[in-house]
Amino acid sequence: MRHRIAAIQMCSTDNVATNLAQAKQYIQQAVEDGARLIVLPENFAIMGLHPEDKVKYKEVFGQGMIQDFLHQQASQNNVWIVGGTLPLAVPQYDEKVYASSLVFNDVGECVARYDKIHLFDIALHAEKEIHQESQTISPGQNIIVFDSPLGKCGLAICYDIRFPELFRAMQEKGAELIVLPSAFTVPTGKAHWDILIRARAIENQVYMIAAAQTGVHANQRKTYGHSMIVNPWGSVSAVLKDDRGVVCADIDLKFLHQLRRDFPVLNHKKYM
């Protein structure tokens, strides 16, 4: 019941073709390392100069260059791919997109879609960082857990990590692993990234696979990196700090199920 998984860490640019070429390189590296499930970071295909740039590259669900790329990479390499996030059209809003994470199985079929629910609208004045995702992104509404050969997998994106209710809902839907494509800022990453990911793993006794952006992007935004894989006990199995590349680790569902039997905290919860 052991499976190899990989999280890809990128420094995406404002050029989609460049980003897809970079992603292809890292997917191949993960495949060569034996990964069966590969997770790309948030905004892997486009990190624009301006927030509105993502709207220019939006795709209709089911067609488009970015979706074609994910289909081809999954089918050609016979692997499952979680496509970070890409901008998908919102029918009622021309000026907004969904930040969508699409899952492609090993024959290239899109088998799951999650639209980011929690939008990053914050102002860190001391750090001179202001983000208003709701200006260009429409929030999703659905909690997603899908079946895979590696186990039941939940989908979350970046800022979602701060909302434990979402992760508990995925666990209650049967999630054994949860993926988290991200583009954390440096100040929030230094303060909270590691502890939040480990906490969600411990609370729900799940594997967490967090794929991050790193470095300085075209708009001079800096992202924190530190892509990591965390086991259900909260131990960090693997981490890639600042470099671009791939981090791999094995997940063991036998270990997860034994932990849940020996330490049945999930059976003890009470709602007052």
Structural domains in the chain, sorted by start: 2-263 (3.60.110.10)
pLDDT in tens, 233-256: 999 999 999 999 999 999 999 999
Residue 59: which pLDDT band, with cuts at 50, 70 and 90? very high
Catalytic one of 11, 42, 58, 59: 42
Q: Which pLDDT value is given to residue 126?
A: 64
Question: Catalytic annotation on 56?
Answer: no
Structure token pair of residue 5: 């998984």
CA distance 109 to 74: 8
pLDDT in tens, 172-188: 999 999 999 999 999 99
Best CA proximity match to 190, nearest among 225, 216, 150: 225
Measured CA angle at 80 (ends 134, 78), to 5 deg: 145
Phi, psi (degrees; rounded to nearest 5) at 188: -70, -30
Q: Which pLDDT value is given to residue 256?
A: 98
CA distance 110 to 105: 7
Once rounded to an integer, what is the mean pLDDT over residues 184-204? 97
- The model scores a pTM over 0.75: yes
125 has a pLDDT exceeding 90: no
* pLDDT above 70 as % of the chain: 99
Question: Catalytic annotation on 241?
Answer: no
State the SS3 of the chain.
CEEEEEEEEECCCCCHHHHHHHHHHHHHHHHHCCCCEEECCCCCCCCCCCCCHHHHCCECCCCCHHHHHHHHHHHHHCCEEECCCEEEEECCEEEEEEEEEEEECCCCCEEEEEECCCCCEEEEHHHCEEEEHHHCECCCCCCCEEEECCEEEEECCHHHHHCHHHHHHHHHCCCCEEEEEECCEHHHHHHHHHHHHHHHHHHHCCEEEEEEEEEECCCCCEEECCEEEECCCCCEEEEECCCCEEEEEEEEHHHHHHHHHHCCHHHCCCCC
Q: Which pLDDT value is given to residue 272?
A: 66
- For residue 244, how many other CB atoms are within 10 A of its CB? 18
* pLDDT above 90 as % of the chain: 91
CA distance 94 to 87: 12
Q: What is the dihedral of CA 124, 128, 133, 134, to 10 degrees?
A: 70
Catalytic one of 11, 153, 158, 248: 158
Q: Which pLDDT value is given to residue 131?
A: 87
Q: Which pLDDT value is given to residue 127?
A: 66
Residue 205: which pLDDT band, with cuts at 50, 70 and 90? very high
Question: Catalytic annotation on 116?
Answer: yes
CA distances (Å), 62 to each of 68, 92, 97, 109, 208, in order? 9, 18, 15, 10, 27
Structure token pair of residue 159: 């800022």
CB 234 within 8 A of CB 202: yes
Q: Which pLDDT value is given to residue 129?
A: 77
Catalytic one of 54, 58, 116, 152: 116
End-to-end CA distance of the chain: 37
CA distance 199 to 196: 5
Once rounded to an integer, what is the mean pLDDT over residues 223-239? 98
**Range in 104-113, 127-136, 262-271 with the lowest mean pLDDT:** 127-136
pLDDT mean across residues, the chain: 96
